[in-house]
Chain A
Amino acid sequence: MPSPELAVAQAPSRPTRPRRHLPVLAYPLIGMLLVCVVMSFANADFLSVANLLNIVRQVSINGVIAVGMTYVILSGGIDLSVGSILALSGTLTAGLLLAGMSPVLAVAAGLASGVAVGVLNGVLVAYMGMPSIIVTLATMGIARGLALLYTGGYPIDGLPDGFGLLGRGKLLGVPYPVWLMLVVFALAWVLLARTPFGRYVHAIGGNEDATRLSGVRVKRNKLMVYAISGLTAAIAGLVLASRLMSGQPSAGVSFELDAIAAVVIGGTPITGGRGSVIGTLIGALTLGVLNNGLNMMGISPYLQIVIRGVIILFAIYVGRERIRRG
Chain B
Amino acid sequence: MNPLLRLQGISKGFPGVQALSRMDFALDTGQIHALTGENGAGKSTLMKILSGVYRPDEGSILIDGKEQHFDGYRDASAAGIATIFQEFSLIPDLDAAENIFLGRELTRGGLLQRSAMRRRAAALFERLGYPVPLNRPVGRLSVAQQQFVEIAKALSIEARILVLDEPTATLTPDETRHLFKVMRELRQTGVAMVFISHHMEEIFEIADTITVLRDGRKIGTVATTAIDMPSLVEMMVGRSLESSFPPLKPPAPDAALVLDVQAIQLERQAPVNRLQVRAGEILGFAGVVGSGRSELALGLIGELPTTRKDVRFDGRAVRLTDPADALIQGIGMLPENRKADGLVLGASVRDNVSLNNLDKYRRWRWLIDGSKELAATLSSLTQARIKTSSPYTAVGTLSGGNQQKVVIARWLQHRCRLLIFDEPTRGIDVGAKAEIYQLIRQLAEAGNAVILISSELPEIVGLSHRVAVFDHGAITATLEGAAIHPNQIMLHATGAHHAVS
Contacts and interface: CB of A to CB of B under 8 A. Distances in A.
Interface string B365-401: 0111000100110110111000000111000111100
A74 to B, nearest CB: 12
Interface in B1-28: 14, 17, 19
A303 B344 CA distance: 42
Interface in B327-361: 327-328, 332-333, 335, 340-347, 351, 354-356, 358-359
A48 interface: no
Interface in A197-255: 199-200, 202-203, 206-207, 209-217
A212 to B, nearest CB: 6
Contacts of A14: 378
B145 interface: no
Nearest to A3: B379
B44 interface: yes
A322 B45 CA distance: 17
27 contacts: A1-B412, A1-B415, A4-B372, A4-B376, A4-B379, A7-B378, A10-B382, A11-B378, A11-B381, A196-B359, A199-B355, A202-B347, A202-B351, A203-B347, A209-B340, A210-B340, A210-B342, A212-B322, A213-B341, A214-B410, A215-B323, A215-B326, A216-B324, A273-B344, A324-B396, A326-B45, A326-B398
Interface residues of B, number: 51
A203 B392 CA distance: 15
B390 A215 contact: no
Given A11-B378, A207-B344, A326 B303 contact: no
B379 A8 contact: yes
Contacts of B351: 199, 202-203
Contact of A8 (B332, B356, B375): B375
B167 to A, nearest CB: 19
Nearest to A206: B344
Contact of A7 (B335, B383, B398): B383
A5 interface: yes
Interface stretch (A15-23, A156-164, A289-297): A15-23
A173 interface: no
B416 to A, nearest CB: 10
Enumerate the 10 nearest inter-chain pairs by beta-carbon distance, A residue then B residue, closest first: A215-B327, A7-B379, A206-B344, A196-B358, A4-B375, A214-B356, A15-B390, A326-B397, A207-B344, A215-B356
Contact of B367 (A11, A190, A209, A213): A190
Nearest to B331: A215
A4 B381 CA distance: 11
A195 B342 contact: no
Q: Which of B324, B327, B344, B412 has the most CB of A within 10 A?
A: B344
Interface of A: 1-8, 10-11, 14-15, 17-18, 20, 190, 194-196, 199-200, 202-203, 206-207, 209-217, 273-274, 324-326
Nearest to A269: B346
Given A196-B358, A324-B397, 16 more contacts: A2-B379, A5-B375, A8-B375, A15-B390, A15-B392, A190-B367, A210-B335, A211-B355, A212-B322, A214-B342, A214-B356, A214-B410, A215-B326, A215-B332, A215-B356, A325-B396
Contacts of B358: 196, 199-200
A209 B335 CA distance: 10
B366 A195 contact: yes
A195 B368 CA distance: 5
Contacts of B341: 209-210, 213
Contacts of A207: 340, 343-345
A4 B397 CA distance: 26
Contacts of B368: 194-196, 199
A2 to B, nearest CB: 6
A217 B358 CA distance: 13
Contacts of B399: 326
Contact of B355 (A1, A209, A216): A216
A11 B376 CA distance: 12
B382 A11 contact: yes
Nearest to A12: B382
Contacts of A2: 379, 382-383
Contacts of A7: 375, 378-379, 382-383
Interface string B42-71: 001100000000000000000000000000
A109 B359 CA distance: 33
Contacts of B17: 326
Nearest to B411: A214
Nearest to B332: A215
A182 B466 CA distance: 61
B298 to A, nearest CB: 9
A211 B344 contact: yes
Contacts of A202: 344, 347, 351
Contacts of A213: 303, 323, 333, 335, 341-342
A130 to B, nearest CB: 19
A14 B371 CA distance: 12
Given A10-B382, A273-B344, A216 B356 contact: yes
B346 A217 contact: no
Given A206-B347, A207-B343, A210-B344, A217 B391 contact: no
A24 to B, nearest CB: 12
B346 A274 contact: yes
Nearest to B372: A4
B166 to A, nearest CB: 15
A217 B375 contact: no
Contacts of A1: 379, 383, 412, 415
A206 B356 CA distance: 15
A15 B391 contact: yes
A249 B495 CA distance: 69
Given A199-B355, A215-B326, A8 B378 contact: yes
A135 B391 CA distance: 38
Contacts of B14: 324, 326
Given A7-B379, A20-B392, A273 B347 contact: yes
A195 B347 CA distance: 16
Given A211-B355, A214-B356, A326-B396, A203 B378 contact: no
Query: Of B333, B343, B381, which is in contact with the most chain A CB atoms at under 10 Å from its CB?
Result: B343
